[in-house]
Structure 1
Amino acid sequence: MHECMAPFDGFDHNAQSLRVVTHLEQRYAEFDGLNLAWETLEGLVKHNGPLLDSDGNPIGKFKGGRLPFAISEYADKQDLLLDTWPGGEAQAAAIADDIAYDAHDLDDGVRAGLFAVEDMREVPFLADILVDVDRKYPGLEESRRIHEIVRRSITRMVEDVIREAVGNISELDPQSANDIRMAGRGLVGFSDEMALAEKEVKRFLFARVYRHADVLAVRKLVARIVKDLFRKYQSDPELMPHPWNVGLGSLGDTETARRICDYIAGMTDRYAIEEHRRLFDDTPDLG
């Protein structure tokens, strides 16, 4: 989607989430969006850290460029303090997301046959867990063995985050939620040792799962579906259903592209495939 939207300010999934809850959801008579608390919107946008430096320049993955359209557009309406860290709850949600992704991808990868349990020994963090599991439960059936490895990896990471967060917060001794935002660093996250271990897990998953030939083949087909739909709607926006096709005549190219992007980004996998099948005769089989 980012490739399709490159001529029209690009696409970012976090920014799109903000756009959904502040603009695209239309549940109230007097305004668009879901009327969420400021803290919720702040956490949604910058749960991984500040987006701007003290001079207002984009940093992190946006360094040298500009903020996504949805974020910069909303920033004109409400200040989300994009140059500070988020509150503690958002930091906890962000690290929980990382832990959950690692655990699920390990579980999914081994069960899908992308790698074997024994391959996990390549990662010291996982190798140590394997030793513990095999010592305590020799001869354990494979499905339970996998569950135990994943469960223990979650537990070790969560316990590390708790210890680190308690120490950091005790050291700072914040008197308000804003003190956490202004701390100049994240307070809820991994220790240095666990951060290195988690990077090794991600490196393993990158090689064994995210860049596995079978996964890349499916990703290529999925990308084709998205690109086909985008270009088809660009050539004839009226193909989109009501209310997405309302008022298209008053929109310029950028606004039309954003409308198309909003529509496709809101599709489920199944709906996108069905819509592609409706519009094309060569929809790929994703298995």
Structure 2
Amino acid sequence: MAKKIEPYACDPADSRGRRFPEEESAFRSCFQRDRDRIIHSSAFRRLKHKTQVFVEHEGDFYRTRLTHSIEVAQVARTMANALGLNTDLTEAVALAHDLGHTPFGHTGEDALHELMAPYGGFDHNAQALHIVTSLERHYADFDGLNLTWDTLEGIAKHNGPLLPLKDGEALPVTLAAYNDVHDLELHTHASGEAQVAALSDDVAYNNHDLQDGLRAGLFTEDEICEMALIRPAYDEVDRLYPGLDPYRRRHEALRRVFGFMVSDVIDTSAERLATLKPQSAADIRHMGQPVICFSDEMWQQIREIRQFLFTRMYRAPSVVEIRTRVTQVVRDLFPIYMQDPSHLPQRWRREIEEVRSEAELARLVADYIAGMTDRFALQAHERLMGVDVLHDVP
């Protein structure tokens, strides 16, 4: 059931519009058009073959960036609707939040950031903004997707304000460059819709990484039941369905864990909104604090899950072994393209004609590598290096 939109929700009629003005649609709001453009983008399709934790070749069951983004969007719509926020804007930000990820997940990002250190580094959040404002090249009148200011703001700062910077910090190069020509007000919090998208990401990956880790045999249900948030879910399922098939038991328990997290965000955020009484989307942006959040108790329980997953899944020997191998793929490809850009596809070679410095060439190469899927990166590496890193014995 759709809930009444609250005054603090982002109203498409009050959107700050697009950098390049366009005629409005007769049957879709500007936020619906943003969502649809993201779904139809090349970068979104490529998420199908980008890893979440496991490398893409390891099995069809495990989450990819695409299935993760769809799950985040589903959670985000549910929470936004319950809180009286704009569900279309929330969904657009949720669907776009991982567009900037490299092949091989955070492993690939870490390698690319290290390689790009002399040129300003690499950040997947900034890359998502770069993709939707520049790298998607489909429309006759502009580069990028020409999304509304509201959606771009949500992509850029859904995790909170980016200014002022702390000592030694710098804005990601691509983000700073775009903000110079289209001010996203990086000193404020994002809209409530973008904040919902950020927490939906936490809810989704904590839940599905538990499922994927169990499926991969990295830990057992007895082990995860030692955590405070998970034991009550299994106890309830065992009480209601004694002797249930193990796979159904797992699903029933983990969907309850999922529900605990979603309900906690809705209840806690509704209470904060009632206390803070924002009367507009601008009020939320200028609160000086997030308005969408977990309760303190839930946050502690989620931190326990995160620590467990970090130790038992993200740093599991089998996962680390594969990550070590695919890191080499990125480390090998970058200097090859830097030294001989003729290996790049024709479209990218045309871009080189406008490159004026080594830093610009490095950024172009990083854009190309970041856009690769796991499968494509492995194929390119084998073609250029003659090595199958996943199967050849080191």
In the alignment, residue 11 of structure 1 is paired with which amino acid?
Answer: F
* Alignment size in residue pairs: 280
1-structure distance, mates of 2:324, 2:244:
38
Higher RCO (CA < 8 A, seq sep 6+) = 2
SS of alignment partner, residue 76 of structure 1: helix
Counterpart for residue 143 of structure 2 = 32
2-structure distance, mates of 1:96, 1:70:
25
Deviations 1:45-97 (A, max 9, x none): 110111113xxxx15xxx63101011101110111111111001000000001
2-structure distance, mates of 1:200, 1:161:
17
In the alignment, residue 260 of structure 1 is paired with which amino acid?
Answer: V
Deviations 1:163-205 (A, max 9, x none): 0111111112111101000011111110111111111111111
Counterpart for residue 181 of structure 2 = 77
Using the size of structure 1 for normalisation, the TM-score is 0.94
The counterpart of 1:14, out of the listed 122, 125, 140, is 125
Q: 2:152 aligned with 1:41, yes or no?
A: yes
Mark the CA change 1:247 to 1:37 in structure 2 (over 3 Å): closer, same or farther: closer
Counterpart for residue 138 of structure 1 = 242
2-structure distance, mates of 1:86, 1:147:
34
CA-CA distance at 1:8 after TM superposition: 0.7
The counterpart of 1:273, out of the listed 378, 384, 394, is 378
The counterpart of 2:196, out of the listed 92, 117, 120, is 92
Q: 2:336 aligned with 1:232, yes or no?
A: yes
Deviations 1:116-170 (A, max 9, x none): 1111122111122222222222222221122112201110000000001111111
CA-CA distance at 1:250 after TM superposition: 4.6
In the alignment, residue 268 of structure 1 is paired with which amino acid?
Answer: T
The counterpart of 2:307, out of the listed 179, 182, 203, is 203
Q: Is the 8 A contact 1:221 1:286 kept in 2?
A: no
CA-CA distance at 1:258 after TM superposition: 0.5
Counterpart for residue 174 of structure 1 = 278
In the alignment, residue 168 of structure 1 is paired with which amino acid?
Answer: R
Counterpart for residue 256 of structure 1 = 361
2-structure distance, mates of 1:274, 1:44:
31
CA-CA distance at 1:248 after TM superposition: 2.2
Q: Is the 8 A contact 2:322 2:390 kept in 1?
A: no
Counterpart for residue 110 of structure 1 = 214
Mark the CA change 1:286 to 1:6 in structure 2 (over 3 Å): closer, same or farther: farther
Where does structure 1 differ by over 3 angstroms across 4 or more consecutive aligned residues? Answer: none
Deviations 1:239-267 (A, max 9, x none): 01111112525521111111100001011
RMSD (CA atoms): 1.4
In the alignment, residue 121 of structure 2 is paired with which amino acid?
Answer: G
Mark the CA change 1:162 to 1:273 in structure 2 (over 3 Å): closer, same or farther: same
2-structure distance, mates of 1:115, 1:26:
44
2-structure distance, mates of 1:33, 1:284:
34
Deviates more, 1:9-18 or 1:75-84: 75-84
CA-CA distance at 1:28 after TM superposition: 2.3
2-structure distance, mates of 1:189, 1:286:
44
CA-CA distance at 1:286 after TM superposition: 6.5
CA-CA distance at 1:278 after TM superposition: 1.4
In the alignment, residue 257 of structure 1 is paired with which amino acid?
Answer: A
Counterpart for residue 282 of structure 1 = 387
Deviates more, 1:256-265 or 1:169-178: 169-178
1-structure distance, mates of 2:348, 2:250:
45
Counterpart for residue 149 of structure 1 = 253
Q: Is the 8 A contact 1:225 1:283 kept in 2?
A: no
SS of alignment partner, residue 194 of structure 1: helix
Deviates more, 1:164-173 or 1:130-139: 130-139
SS of alignment partner, residue 175 of structure 1: coil
SS of alignment partner, residue 291 of structure 2: coil
